Chains A and B, each alone.
Chain A
Amino acid sequence: MTALLEVRELSVAYGHIPVIHNLSLLVAQGGITTLLGANGAGKTTLLRAICNMKVRNSGAILFEGRRIETWATEDIVRLGIGHVPDGRGTFVHLTVEENLILGAHTRRDRTAVAQDFERAYTYFPRLKERARQQAGTLSGGEQQMLAIARALMLRPKLLLLDEPSFGLAPLIVQEIFRILRRINEEENVSLLLVEQNASLALALATHVYLLETGRVVMDGPASIVSDNAAVRRAYLGY
């Protein structure tokens, strides 16, 4: 498998406070890569750095072999990187439908966009029922679904997901992870997933990176990492 996204020796700081040190990682084409780590390990910061959002960084970020670390966020997005941020970042005063229209903001192929609307509603039938509702009136799970559906409207090659399970009921989380797997398999969208729920993420992922205080401490195929005794103790609790 070739690398879709490559991060090389990346250091990131908020103002003068360093958060990520000399971090390198690869996201394989077609795979599901997950970042595990405790609060403050730099997972969210890494996703923000990939999209060049309000962080200062040094090092290189390559997408399909092209260096993008100095690009503006809106141009990085246009390459096909969908970002589902923490806190979901939906437009709460706009309707579900308007949120999805905005997801396709960069696209001009109208017929394909219309098909993608149907596709988004097939993955998330509940959004169709609520199409005319203000996004702010949705439940937490529905808002997470909307955030993912909106990112899909971009027809992304890579989807960055920041803790999609955060604050949601276990049944909803399972449903969302099932859909993420389908999106990965059926749409050939590669995923870079940040999670605190380690067992869930390990079950889904093909490749795992463990982050501690801004450094990669271990990485490998999900099956091997989840067999590691130290990992089991620290992240899985058995």
Chain B
Amino acid sequence: MEAFLHQFLSGLANGGIYASIGLALVMIYQATHHINFAQGEQGMFSAYIALILIQAGVPYWAAFLLALTFGFVSGVAIERIIIRPFEQAPVLSVVVVFLGLLFIINSLAGWLFTYNVQAFPSPFPAGLGGRYLSAHEIGMVGVTLLMLLVIYLFFRFTPLGLAMRAAAQNPDASRLVGIRVGWMLALGWGLAGAVGAIAAIMAAPIVYIEPNMMGGILLYGFAAALLGGINNPWGAAAGGLIVGVIENLAGAYVVGTELKLSVALVIIIVVLVTRPAGLFGYTTMTRV
């Protein structure tokens, strides 16, 4: 029982990371109907920025905030400079752009920071640790929950959040009330970039930092987004927690740790076959 509880709770903690990546994917998907394959790599790059700042003597939370800002600004820049020109391009072209972005950021990180696996500090004091979870896992849960809450409040209660939701839902009608839809898209990319940065910085002490650190996490995040419903951000967040728990329990009791990653693929396939809209998503009818 004790071991089960440990696996369950640590699954929830990992799930927070998947939830964050899933949320970032959904934020961009809702506005553009594209999956940003480079979401994980953007986060990884921001985590490296944090690491370099910390190694240079900047206090952890200051480095955290600066890396978050970097994630935001680079997200906006990527949308404005790289994605924008492909606004009217066919889906496959955009997919190739996203894949290219993934490899470019990955190689850039390898070139700048080397492919060596490095340790990443955790800001949470060891005393925070409890019977079932380590200090970092508890802190990680706290940070991801706080982030989800802030994002929720932003979209639910601020005029800018409302305008961003409107722009994602109905770009034409948004222009007719004077919303600058292009900027709302860029802002969405920025927010997704910041969320991805948080996920990577929180994951780094566990998976260690290296240019490929987000590969598996992106896959889980994608599974989370699909499971929760690719058009429902809160579904994606819930999906992340569920995927985290399933992954950990399956790894401990069913398939063993070597096959853990395939669990994400199995979830993706099962959802796509049985319930393409996800648990909390809705199907959109298109009149033709």
Contacts and interface: CB of A to CB of B under 8 A. Distances in A.
A102 B175 contact: no
B180 A98 contact: no
Interface residues of B, number: 17
Interface string A71-94: 011100110001101000111111
A106 B173 contact: no
Nearest to B183: A74
A31 B225 CA distance: 52
B165 interface: yes
Contact of A89 (B162, B172, B180): B172
B257 interface: no
B169 A94 contact: yes
Interface in A144-179: 150-151, 154
B149 interface: no
A181 B61 CA distance: 60
Contacts, number: 61
Contact of A101 (B159, B173, B174, B178): B159
A85 B180 CA distance: 18
A167 to B, nearest CB: 14
A73 B177 contact: no
A35 to B, nearest CB: 19
Contacts of B159: 101, 105
A9 B165 CA distance: 38
Interface in A103-160: 103, 105-106, 150-151, 154
Nearest to A90: B173
Nearest to B179: A105
A12 interface: no
A51 interface: yes
Nearest to A89: B173
Given A94-B165, A98-B162, A105-B163, A74 B173 contact: no
B133 interface: no
B178 A78 contact: yes
B173 A85 contact: yes
Interface in A31-81: 51, 53, 72-74, 77-78
A196 B173 CA distance: 23
Contacts of B177: 77, 102-103, 105-106, 150, 154
Interface string B67-92: 00000000000000000000000000
Contacts of B178: 74, 77-78, 105-106, 154
B56 interface: no
Nearest to A82: B176
A159 to B, nearest CB: 12
A91 B173 contact: yes
Q: Name the residue in A74, A78, A85 with the highest tally of chain B Cβ atoms < 10 Å from its Cβ.
A: A74
B32 interface: no
A150 B162 CA distance: 15
B148 interface: no
A95 to B, nearest CB: 10
Contact of B179 (A85, A92, A102): A102
A102 B162 contact: yes
A53 B169 contact: no
A73 B181 CA distance: 10
A89 B172 CA distance: 8
B166 interface: yes
Contacts of A74: 175, 178-181
A102 B166 CA distance: 8
Interface of A: 51, 53, 72-74, 77-78, 82-83, 85, 89-94, 98, 101-103, 105-106, 150-151, 154
Given A51-B175, A91-B169, A91-B173, 17 more contacts: A53-B175, A53-B176, A72-B175, A73-B176, A74-B178, A74-B180, A74-B181, A77-B178, A85-B172, A85-B176, A89-B176, A90-B173, A102-B166, A102-B177, A106-B178, A150-B177, A154-B177
Which 10 A-B pairs have CB atoms at the shortest separation, nearest pair first? Answer: A106-B178, A89-B173, A73-B175, A77-B178, A83-B176, A74-B178, A74-B175, A105-B177, A102-B177, A78-B178
